Amino acid sequence: MARPVWVGSLSFGLVTLPVRLHGAVSSRQARFHLIHDADGARIQNKRVCSADGEEVPLEHVVRGYTLEDGRQVTVTSGELDALDPVSSRVIALEEFVDPVEVDPLLLDTSYHLVPARGVEQAYALMTEALRVSGRVGVGRVVLYQKGHLCLVRPHARGLVLSTLHAVDEVVSQEQLSELELTGASVAPAELDAALKLIESRSTTFDPRRHPDEHRERVMAFLERRARAQARSRRVPRAAPEVGAPAGAKVRGPEVTPVEGALRLRPRLAAREVREDSGGLGSKPFRVEPGVGGAPDDPREASTPGSTTPEGSGGLGAPDPKKPRG
């Protein structure tokens, strides 16, 4: 079982329940990191001073904040720790409100609120009481050295705690000039047509009908790329040339289309991914024979000495059927 992110008790009135918090949502998006294309080693981030370009040791790095008037203030970790809210192991429900009154924009992160052993009966009583009353509890919890306003509400077989954003963190629509023209009158016929369209497509919401198609495409592409790179690594390394000086580096095989396509020809590589995935809803990208699209990022441009033969059908790799000249 996963470790809880918080252990304490839930209280309201004279009732106190030992509870634990477990994350209710876990991101499954593919997280990429930077590697060196020559040897596959991870790229390290260094702390470099913007004034002299020198690397700064960790013991000389301090935290700073720039005020609105441009003044810069430095602080220490100890000073910030002294300002943290007092850690508490109690979630005190201060009031109970109608969930319709809570703006969904305020909802932040949700956690499963599970009971400790031996208090299952009291936990079930509180869950059923909230469900029958149609109310949610409002309280406060300290997580990760930060105090949060939170909601406790029934969900499925138990309770869920959701932290809330502070009111001043929500961007007001009054700041968006584009919404000033949205008060135009609506014709009754247009409204009737829109209502009929909504009614024709009304159904019961089931999130399983809406999987993360982008993540599935990304993971399928990464699996194909892993298999292709595994095959390319089986190519034997070239033997040293006869008469080469001692200690000379042995040149390995040339960069294959699988290894260097995204770096050399990013636009053509994207076209291959779309074609392999059935289009992905994008329009075809037209490339004239012998002409490669310019990279979107100058850092992704072709390396010096790498060329694309005219009429190449791959992703910027040399055509094995055409003699070199």
Q: Is the pLDDT of residue 146 over 80?
A: yes
Residue among 210, 218, 171, 190 nearest 28 (CA): 218
Tell me what pLDDT residue 120 has: 92
Instruction: Please say if the pLDDT value at position 213 is more than 80.
Output: yes
Cα angle vertex 159, ends 107, 111, to 5°?
50
The strand pair at 136-143 and 63-66 is best described as unpaired
Most confident of 26-30, 149-153, 245-249: 149-153
Q: pLDDT band for position 285 (50/70/90)? A: very low
Residue type, 152: V
Residue 86's pLDDT band (cuts 50, 70, 90): confident
pLDDT over threshold 90, residue 161: yes
User: What would the two tokens of residue 245 be?
Assistant: 């000086």
Dihedral angle, C-alpha 95, 101, 102, 103, nearest 10 °: -160
Dist. CA 20–CA 3, nearest whole Å: 9
In this prediction, residue 180 carries a pLDDT of 74
**Long-range contact set of residues 36-44: C-beta below 8 Å, sequence gap at least 24:** 37/259, 37/260, 37/263
Mean pLDDT of 5-26: 87
Which pLDDT belongs to residue 280? 47
pLDDT digits (tens, 9 = 90+) for 217-273: 888 898 998 888 888 877 555 555 555 555 555 555 454 444 444 454 555 556 666
With pLDDT > 70 as the criterion, what percentage of the chain qualifies?
A: 71
Q: Is the per-residue pLDDT at 172 higher than 50?
A: yes
pTM here is: 0.60
